[in-house]
Amino acid sequence: MSTSLSPAPGSAPLTRMVTAQALMETRLLLRNGEQLLLAVVIPLLVLVAGRQAGSLLDIGAGRRIDVLTPGVLALAVMSTSFTSVAIATGFERRYGVLKRLGASPLPRSGLLAGKLAAVLLVEALQLAILCSVAAGLGWRPSGGISAVLGVLLLVLLGSAAFASLALLMAGALRAEATLAAANLVYLMLLVAGGIVVPLARYPESVSAHLELLPSGALGQGLRDVLSGSGPGLLHVVVLLAWTIIGTSLAVRTFRWE
Amino acid sequence: MTYGEVIAVDRLDLEVAEGTVTAVLGPNGAGKTTTVETCEGYRRPQAGTVRVLGLDPRRERRRLGSRVGVMLQNGGSWSGVRAAEMLRHIAALHAHPLDVSLLIERLGLGSCGRTPYRRLSGGQQQRLGLAMAVVGRPELVFLDEPTAGLDPQARHNAWDLVRELRDGGVTVVLTTHYMDEVEHLADQVHVIDHGRLVASGSPATLAARGSENTIRLRARPGLDLAGLVRALPAGAHAQEVAPGSYVVSGKVDPQALATLTAWCAAEGLLPESLHVERRTLEDVFLDLTGRELRP
């Protein structure tokens, strides 16, 4: 710190830059009312309403709250890592934030690391709230410590897959188009993406395909893990594959300005 | 040259010397922003060489990021970020940043430090952009139209900051279409139009470029100028351009002025008015770039 205007150039250490970027993006995400609606309020509504409205939403055998909660956690992960990331990045392009940061000492890898860290921070908050409410409603997950590790693995992979798809979308479309498309995709996957409603409840011809979507793989993966079976290899592979597809396409097509 | 042969817009060659303020002057659409954005590494020149601090601004952009400060013509901040928060963030990316609170006070942003970017006025957004360009204590700053939309107080404040940067040893490159900005600030000015360099020099030499001063005199019509013409130094001439309106042009220097007033005294003539007119930078600019309106 100095008051002199004489040059004293230099980058901050990478960890400090990434931390600053992550905290900044976290604050901005939490400050955004519309995105909080998607991130917390809608998953809570699904949780509470889905538990009551048995006739409207047939989620199959088992205690309703135990079937419902993993899907709601997956929905929360999707809302942040896909919808929020896509919309925020679209507007960062529009407002020249990415352009300005491109001329700063923060490397692009640091920017991406900061973004991913912000996503994980927000998700940790979302999952803490949703798990507490679900527990209050009688949710009893099984599987112990291996279930916790399975959840962490799936949430990480799911976030990576969704975030890479979000960047693919935000880097190619205009900000307004991204806003509309990201919300539309969220709604479609919520209703018919195998994220909240167990795949077994879909017609057999459909469910096999849904399991190949990131939403289906994350939702069903979390339901399996939290009912005591380990994460299925298929779900892990599907999420990894989407991450690789999304990332390699985004790297090629992303326009920074 | 330490600061390299810079820039290619359309076979545009120009250099910027270390520790100076260089203005890139041109009408709208002349290629000013393209020029600086090529130096900032945002654009890849199709041909030619750009070197900034001896580095390639695209391939070695990372190394320039800490040494070069950038003010974009607009935007560059999140819409929901608070002014002070944005500046703190940029500061956090640098090793030895300026004191953020002092800089905020310095640029008159103290009252809006907690205001979200989207609710700042245009002038406040400009000043924040300027602060973001200098907070990392760069060696070189690129300012794209730094005072567009600022009120007179804020412009002078910004000019003071630019002068202080130069006095501290920072090299400043700015784009502008304000003549007074160039005259007040720039050591060197490059006039570009249609992507080509049309003139370079210091503001003073540019204003004097190929120009002749004139003396305008109003007095009673029909004066006999023969005696004056004989007395004037070689290269200066006098004529009545309209009844009662006289112009001395050509080589107008102090000697010519003395000759004129001595002639008035000898004739017992007290002019109604007498103006020495220098061509301004604006005249030169308009001569160079034409007077038609730009789309």
Q: Does the pLDDT value for residue A56 go beyond 60?
A: no
Do the domain assignments include residue A9?
Answer: no
Of B78, B95, B98, which is closest to A95 when you measure between CB atoms? B78
Q: Which of residues 46-65 of B touch A (CB under 8 A)?
A: 61-62, 65
The side-by-side arrangement of strands in the sheet containing B245-250 is B236-242, B245-250, B214-218, B273-277
Do the domain assignments include residue A165?
Answer: yes
State pLDDT tens for residues B224-251. Answer: 888 888 888 887 888 888 888 898 887 7
Q: What is the DSSP letter of A142?
A: B
Q: Does the pLDDT value for residue B6 go beyond 50?
A: no
> Which residues have C-beta within 8 Å of that of residue B175, sequence separation ≥ 6?
B23, B24, B25, B26, B32, B33, B35, B36, B143, B144, B145
Whether B170 and A7 lie within 8 Å, measured CB to CB: yes
Which chain B residues touch A24 with a CB distance below 8 Å? 81, 85, 89
Q: Which of residues 71-90 of B touch A (CB under 8 A)?
A: 72, 74-81, 85, 89-90
CB atoms within 10 A of CB A44: 17
> Which residues have C-beta within 8 Å of that of residue B17, sequence separation ≥ 6?
B1, B2, B3, B171, B187, B188
**To the nearest 10°, the Cα dihedral for B262, B264, B268, B269?**
-160
Q: Does the pLDDT value for residue B212 go beyond 70?
A: no
Q: What is the C-alpha to C-alpha distance for residues B65 and A190, in angstroms, rounded to an integer?
A: 42
What does R_g of chain A's alpha carbons equal in angstroms? 19
What pLDDT does B8 receive?
A: 40
Do the domain assignments include residue A93?
Answer: yes
Of A11, A24, A257, which is closest to B66 when you measure between CB atoms? A11
What pLDDT does A54 receive?
A: 62
Do the domain assignments include residue A1?
Answer: no
What pLDDT does A229 receive?
A: 84
Q: Which residue has the tokens 């019509």?
A: B221
Q: How many domains does chain A have?
A: 1
Which chain B residues touch A16 with a CB distance below 8 Å? 92
Whether residue B279 contacts residue B211, with contact meaning beta carbons closer than 8 Å, is answered with yes
- Euclidean distance between the first and final Cα of chain B, in Å? 37
Please give the average per-residue pLDDT across A189-205, as a whole number.
88
Which chain B residues touch A103 with a CB distance below 8 Å? 40-42, 61, 65, 68, 70
State pLDDT tens for residues B92-128. Answer: 999 999 999 999 999 999 999 999 999 999 999 999 9
Cβ of residue B70 closer than 8 Å to a chain A Cβ:
yes
The model's pTM: 0.85
Do the domain assignments include residue A197?
Answer: yes
Give ipTM to 2 decimals.
Answer: 0.90
State pLDDT tens for residues A161-179. Answer: 999 999 999 999 999 999 9
Nearest Cα of chain A lies from the Cα of B76 at a distance, in angstroms, of 4
Name which of B102, B137, B171, B173 to mutate to probe chain A: the one with the most chain A Cβ atoms within 10 A of its Cβ. B137
Do the domain assignments include residue A57?
Answer: yes
Of B62, B70, B95, which is closest to A10 when you measure between CB atoms? B95
Q: What is the C-alpha to C-alpha distance for residues B88 and A169, in angstroms, rounded to an integer?
A: 30
Whether B134 and A4 lie within 8 Å, measured CB to CB: no
What pLDDT does B61 receive?
A: 86
- Euclidean distance between the first and final Cα of chain A, in Å? 32
Q: What is the C-alpha to C-alpha distance for residues B33 and B22, in angstroms, rounded to an integer?
A: 14
Please give the average per-residue pLDDT across B281-292, as a whole number.
76
Whether B94 and A105 lie within 8 Å, measured CB to CB: yes
Q: What is the DSSP letter of A11?
A: B
Do the domain assignments include residue A121?
Answer: yes
Which chain A residues touch B92 with a CB distance below 8 Å? 12, 16-17, 20
- Structural domain that includes position A113: 14-253
